[in-house]
C-alpha cells in the first residue's frame, strides 16, 4: 500500500466537480485516508510549488491556486503515485488520454483540475506539508 497526495484545484471546485472527481478516485480503488477543503494562502502555495519558482508560470500558478477553495487529499492504493498520475492524465489536457480526469474536466494547462505527487518522496513531503499524522486514517 502506497500513499500519494492530491489536490482538487480551484477551477474544479468552482465548477462543482468535487463529487465527480471523488467518484473516479473511489471507483478506481483508492482509499481516501484524509481530506479537507481549504483556501490556500499565497505563502502556502508558493512553498508548495517552490520547485517551480524559476518557471515563467510560477506567479500565475500560485495566484490561481489561491483564487478559490481547494480540496486536499491523501490517497492510498498499491502504486498510488503512478496510479493517480495515470488517472489524472497529462499536465496539458490537450495531450491527456481519453477518459482521464484532465481530458474530461481541465480547462487548460494551468487550470487542469487536479494535482498529483510525481514520486513517493515528494508525496511524503506534500502530505506532511498539509496534514498532521493524526488527520490521516488508513
Ligand atoms: P503536473 O505534475 O502534471 O501537475 O505538472 P508540473 O509539475 O509540470 O506543473 C505544475 C502545475 O503548474 C501544473 O499542474 C499546471 O497547473 C501548471 N503548469 C505546468 N506547466 C504550465 C505552463 O506551461 N503554463 C502555465 N500557465 N501553467 C503550467
Taking only the tens place, the pLDDT of each residue in 45-65 is: 999 999 999 999 999 999 999
114 lines ligand 1 (CB under 6 A): no
Q: Is the CB of 125 under 6 A from ligand 1?
A: no
pLDDT tens column, 89-133: 999 999 999 999 999 999 999 999 999 999 999 999 999 999 999
Assign 66 to helix, strand or coil: coil
pLDDT at 105: 98
Mean pLDDT of 37-48: 98
Residue 44 confidence (pLDDT): 98
Q: Is 115 a catalytic residue?
A: yes
CA 115 to ligand 1: nearest atom: 4
Q: Is the pTM of this model over 0.95?
A: yes
Cβ proximity of 81 and 116 under 8 Å: yes
Output the CA 82–ligand 1 centroid distance in Å: 17
Distance 31 CA to ligand 1 centre (A): 26
Amino acid at each position: 500500500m502506497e500513499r500519494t497526495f492530491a489536490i482538487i484545484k480551484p477551477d474544479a471546485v468552482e465548477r462543482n466537480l468535487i463529487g465527480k472527481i471523488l467518484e473516479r478516485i473511489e471507483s478506481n480503488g483508492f482509499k481516501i485516508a484524509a481530506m479537507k477543503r481549504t483556501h490556500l494562502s499565497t505563502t502556502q502555495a508558493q512553498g508548495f510549488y517552490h520547485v517551480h519558482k524559476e518557471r515563467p508560470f510560477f506567479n500565475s500558478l500560485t495566484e490561481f491556486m489561491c483564487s478559490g477553495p481547494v480540496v486536499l487529499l491523501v490517497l492510498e492504493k498499491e502504486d498510488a503515485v503512478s496510479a493517480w498520475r495515470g488517472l489524472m492524465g497529462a499536465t496539458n489536457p490537450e495531450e491527456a488520454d481519453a477518459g482521464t480526469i484532465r481530458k474530461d474536466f481541465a480547462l487548460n494547462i494551468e487550470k487542469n483540475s487536479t494535482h498529483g505527487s510525481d514520486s513517493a518522496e515528494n508525496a511524503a513531503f506534500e502530505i506532511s506539508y498539509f496534514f498532521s499524522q493524526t488527520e490521516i486514517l488508513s
